[in-house]
Amino acid sequence: MNFLVTGGAGFIGSHLCERLLHDGHRVWAFDDLNNFYDPQIKHRTLAAVASLGKPFAFVHGDLTDMKAVNELFFAAKFDQIIHLAARAGVRPSLEQPALYQRVNVEGTVNLLEAAHQAGVKKITIASSSSVYGVNAKVPFSERDPIFSAISPYAASKLACEALGHVYHHIYGLDVAMLRFFTVYGPRQRPDLAIHKFTRLIDAGQPIPVFGDGSAARDHTFITDILDGIIACTKREFGFEIFNLGESQTIRLDKLISLIEAALGKQAVIEWQCLQPGDVPITFADISKAQRMLGYQPQVKAEKGIPLFVDWFCKNRQ
């Protein structure tokens, strides 16, 4: 099949491109290579994907540019789309809320409209556990009310979920919305906690810890996320939302201990106040994904953190 992967130069996107290529598909990656983090990292990632010698094409473009999106769909015919491109991160969205709405919401509208016009019938879209906000009930279920977003990023992802339903309802697109829970692993974005803490501890520099270390996250290893995405491409749903997480929480202080053990180095901690937009816990109820996708995450943090640290140590710049 011909797959379009938006955000294909990023952390999850590049791994997904590799998985699809290994499975025998043709893949087009669409990415604007923005400077949210060093674009050279993305160029190196794309080179690694291209080196597989598989049918892979990279298209440099911006989803908010409708002309560029239309040219993309004119140049190739896609069987399925996996939409991962977005401005990411809760804290940065507080500083640039309009940018997040423009890229995440307008960009998604442009993609859905182009898919509809081109006759693409199936699209898988990345959402986020952030849509649950400060959820009093744990673990988080797709059936929970989601009217308590506490960041512009979360609000933009809620809007994308609504748009996915609109295009399913009006045009019959088969749409799967995937709520990712704190994905990590090789190539993780350098601004995210596991990568940032590993880099700073390795360099003997202090790490900023917001709160008292009790905040808990459902950290999900990249290979488990890929399994969930691929499962979605093989089934038709109409419109469905799925949590993709490890369904196991780990406290921040425990996470730091695992990184310390894997590096063989002690962290120097700078305790700081909680940040606006942060939530005390994320915890995925994955029973729906287990039932409908056969999703069975395999990599707990005790295994995944050493795997990430090993990759980090082999790829220091």
The yes-or-no answer on residue 184 being catalytic is: no
216, amino acid identity: A
CB 188, CB 312: distance < 8 Å: no
Q: Cβ contacts of residue 86 below 8 Å, gap of 6+?
A: 7, 103, 104, 107, 126, 156, 157
Residue 147 clears pLDDT 80, i.e. is over it:
no
How sure is the predictor about 74, in pLDDT bands with cuts at 50, 70 and 90? very high
- CA 212 to each of CA 44, 256, 266, 267: distance values in angstroms, whole numbers, following the listed order: 37, 13, 18, 15
Reduce the DSSP state of residue 281 to 3 states and report it: strand
Residue-level pLDDT at 70: 95
For 29, the 3-state DSSP assignment is strand
Q: Is 15 exposed, middle or buried (0-12, 13-18, 19+ CB in 10 A)?
A: buried
> Cβ distance 167 to 112 under 8 Å?
yes
User: d(Cα 39, Cα 9) in Å, to the nearest integer?
Assistant: 9
Collapsed DSSP state (helix, strand, coil) of residue 300: coil
Whether 317 shows a pLDDT value over 70: the answer reads no
Cα separation, 290 vs 226, whole angstroms? 14
Judge contact between 86 and 138, C-beta under 8 A. Answer: no
The Cα-based distances of 147 to 125, 138, 215 in angstroms read 20, 16, 22
Identify the pLDDT of residue 85.
97
Burial class (CB in 10 A: 0-12, 13-18, 19+), 168: buried
Average pLDDT over every residue of 306-311: 98
pLDDT of 24 above 80: yes
Residue 316 has pLDDT above 90, yes or no: no
d(CA 178, CA 240): 9
Q: Which pLDDT score is estimated for 51?
A: 94
| pLDDT number for residue 111 | 98
| pLDDT (average), residues 104-117 | 98
Whole-number pLDDT of residue 229: 98
Q: Can you tell me the distance from the alpha carbon of 252 to that of 278, in angstroms, rounded to the nearest whole number? A: 13
pLDDT confidence tier of residue 136, bands split at 50, 70 and 90: low
256 φ, ψ to 5°?
-60, -40
Q: How many Cα atoms are found within 13 Å in the side-chain-facing hemisphere of 35?
A: 0
Confidence band of 273 (pLDDT split at 50, 70, 90): confident
pTM of the model: 0.95
**Among 225, 5, 298, 17, which residue's Cα sits nearest to residue 123?**
5
Window from 178-187, 256-265, 270-279 with minimum mean pLDDT: 270-279
Q: How many CA atoms lie within 13 A of 203 on its CB side?
A: 12
Give the model confidence (pLDDT) of 168-217 as tens digits: 999 999 999 999 999 999 999 999 999 999 999 999 999 998 888 888 99
Is the bond into 39 cis (omega within 30 degrees of 0)?
no
Of all residues in the chain, what percent carry a pLDDT higher than 70? Answer: 99
Does 259 have pLDDT greater than 70? yes
Which pLDDT value is given to residue 190?
93
Place of tokens 């089934």: 235
Averaged confidence pLDDT in the chain = 94
User: For 191, what's the count of Cα atoms within 13 Å in the CB-facing half-sphere?
Assistant: 11
Strands 122-128 and 207-210, by their bridges, are unpaired
Q: What is the pLDDT of residue 215?
A: 87
pLDDT band for 150, please (50, 70, 90 cuts).
confident
Single out the catalytic residue among 153, 167, 184, 295. 153
**What backbone torsions phi and psi does residue 119 show, to the nearest 5 degrees?**
80, 15
Mean pLDDT to the nearest integer, 204-232: 94
User: What's the whole-number mean pLDDT along residues 212-230?
Assistant: 94
Domains in the chain, CATH or no CATH each: 2-182+221-247+283-297 (3.40.50.720)
- Look at the alpha carbons of 25, 30, 34, 39 in this order and tell me if their dihedral is positive or negative: positive
Q: How confident is the model at residue 146 (pLDDT cuts 50, 70, 90)?
A: confident
Residue whose C-alpha is closest to residue 220's, from 296, 280, 145: 296
pLDDT range class, residue 272, cuts 50, 70, 90: confident
Average pLDDT on 233-261 reads 95
